[in-house]
Amino acid sequence: MTASVVTVESEEDAAAWDDRASVLACLHETPPRIPAWYGYDAVGADIWVELSRLPSYYLLQAEFDLLERHADEIADRVGPYVTELGSGSAAKTRLLLGACQRRRPTTYLPIDVTREMLERSAASLPAELDGLVVEGLWGRYEAALAHLREHRPGPLTVVWLGSAVGNTTTAERAALLDDVAATLEPRDRFLVTADLVKPGDVLEAAYNDPPGATAQARFRLNQLAHFNRTFDGDAVPHLFYPRARWDPETSTVVGHLFATEDQRVTFRGLEHALDLRRGDSLVHGYSVKFGRPEFVAEADAAGFDLDREYIDPVWQYGLFLFERR
């Protein structure tokens, strides 16, 4: 049994968080946006586990149910090397990895920006799944995929769970799908989940705290605090109020941090300032909800053919297995 973590971003841990060009581009959007990956430092990763277990956050249970029902069929169709974008605790992926390991020796290459979480799963998984080899890749998606292109292990399946494909703009999503396609060879597989359109009240309930809970708010405010630390900012988290709103025109749940008073926020490390009036917002993330045909068409445009699809009939949550052309 083998477990290791490879740094694919830089020898300096801080460099994984410091991408000034893309960050400044986000801050120049209207409204300005803090990239979602800043939510996943060590503190945020632990809060995320708590958040994902809220009863209103249906995505986790829907995904578990789909993988429990279909892991064996999927494992029959994937190769011996499985990499995962944003692996986190790999709680759901264990179902698939267990099915794979029962069929053949399997190597798992989890990718995550939270090194602590990555090291935890790299240490625990081989003990749970006898014979599984784990080689963690610490860094953002783009750097890790580039690493895999340079050090291709063999027939590869890319897994992207949590409906994280929707946490992107249209341009970002197209670029990432192209990046995944460029990492795979013909007949390699791409397993991805996508949340489908449903009533706005259900979606807003999933992305806001129910009465008595605080995990959603703490996760979003920690994202701002982490961004502050990274870029020497002076934003005061308690002067922002997190609230997610459904935008039916763009089929997107938009996560806002609303300013509770007029303020100027300066990020000295970026030489950039924001003048916010009370009620203005910083966007902390997008959660696009797809029409099924539109999502399949986006994957097709990147070079993927649909092989299998599994859609939860209650939550309209989809698990899609594509083959690289």
> From CA 186, how far away is CA 178, in angstroms rounded?
14
Instruction: Inform me whether the pLDDT recorded for 11 exceeds 60.
Output: no
Predicted confidence (pLDDT) per residue in 301-317, tens digit: 999 999 999 999 999 99
HSE (side-chain half, CA atoms, 13 Å) at 95: 16
Single pTM value for the model: 0.94
Instruction: Inform me whether the pLDDT recorded for 2 exceeds 90.
Output: no
pLDDT band at 32 (very low <50, low <70, confident <90, very high): very high
What is the fold, at CATH topology level, of the domain defined by 3-7+57-198+289-324? Rossmann fold (3.40.50)
Q: Is the model more confident about 6 or about 220?
A: 220
Q: Which two tokens stand for residue 237?
A: 């988290």
Instruction: Inform me whether the pLDDT recorded for 9 exceeds 70.
Output: no
User: Nearest-CA neighbor of 108 among 134, 90, 131?
Assistant: 134
Instruction: Inform me whether the pLDDT recorded for 163 exceeds 50.
Output: yes
Domain boundaries along the sequence of the chain: 3-7+57-198+289-324, 15-47+203-288
Predicted confidence (pLDDT) per residue in 246-295, tens digit: 999 999 999 999 999 999 999 999 999 999 999 999 999 999 999 999 99
Give the list of residues 6+ apart from residue 88 with CB closer than 8 angstroms, or none: 45, 48, 49, 112, 114, 117, 121, 162
